[in-house]
Amino acid sequence: MEDPGYIYATKLLEDIGAEIIRVPVDDDGMIVSLGIKNAENAKLAIVTPSHHSPLGMTLSSSRRVELLNWAGVNDSWIVEDDYDGEYRYSGYPLPSLKSLDQYDRVIYAGSFSKTLFPSLRLGYVVVPQKLVDDFTEKLSLLRANYSFKAQLIVNDFIAEGHFSKHLNKMRALYAERRELTSQCLADVLEDRIEITTTKNGTHFVAKLRNNESDIEIVNSFNKLGYGIHALSNWTTDTVRNGLIIGFTNVSNKKIAESATIDLRNAFLRFNA
């Protein structure tokens, strides 16, 4: 798994007794060569190649090929979590790892929680043909509370071209809200935070410039009704700390400024 990596996937794997090998990331995503060096015979790799969770970079083309070749040679699996992959605010969305998979070892997973709405509770997986029966069996055992009607409606929504139009509209809207939120934070807290430059997804990371506890700042801020995350909870790297901040609900400058003031006060309480 990537380090930092998606916190809820980490907890799930720990609960089922998996041995997790954390692999550092850089500006090109997971350092695949280190993952192979440290766990060449691993049976599964979990990656967020289109939009790393939570830092936002994309997995480079060469590392995608390297990861696919490793899975093919070792008969291992890759779970491609298409985390916020639809929300890319510069250039075109990148091709999925699944589309490059000549070994048929990639399981592609996503959901409509952020592209449509969370209460829809509809996700999807694209699996190799040889795994379809296994997935169908496990799904029936889980007795998931899924709605066929909702699936049919979303299917028609996509097939008739409405989904792509909706995404184009939301990309433009979220790009504006990202810029608004990040600019307000930078204006007030530029001496304390450094906002990542990757412009995609539905959140950004604000790295802390000083030796402050991101957990304490987050706890103080969230007591006011917010829901940001501490980066240090998502990583084993003790050097990394920062704030994972969503911006999709910041609909105007007044809201952005109010949230910024509350966050500044959280910093002040930490230093009191």
Task: Give the pLDDT of residue 144.
Answer: 64
Residues of the chain with CATH 3.90.1150.10: 164-271
Residues of the chain with CATH 3.40.640.10: 2-159
Largest CA distance in the chain: 59
Q: What's the pLDDT band for 87 if we cut at 50, 70, 90?
A: confident
**d(C-alpha 272, C-alpha 269), whole Å:** 5
Q: What's the pLDDT band for 94 if we cut at 50, 70, 90?
A: confident
> Is residue 123 classed as helix, strand or coil in its secondary structure?
strand
Task: Give the pLDDT of residue 198.
Answer: 85
Would the pLDDT of 225 be above 70?
yes
| Segment 137-183, tens digit of pLDDT | 988 887 666 778 989 999 999 999 999 999 999 999 999 999 999 99
pTM: 0.90
Percent of the chain with pLDDT over 70: 98
> What is the assigned CATH class of domain 164-271?
alpha beta
Task: Give the pLDDT of residue 254.
Answer: 96
Mean per-residue pLDDT over the chain, rounded: 92
Architecture of domain 2-159: 3-Layer(aba) Sandwich (3.40)
Q: What's the pLDDT band for 93 if we cut at 50, 70, 90?
A: low
Question: What sign has the CA pseudo-torsion 260, 262, 263, 267?
Answer: positive
Alpha helices (H) along the chain: 7-15, 32-38, 61-74, 132-142, 148-159, 162-189, 214-222, 253-271
Average pLDDT over residues 5-30: 93
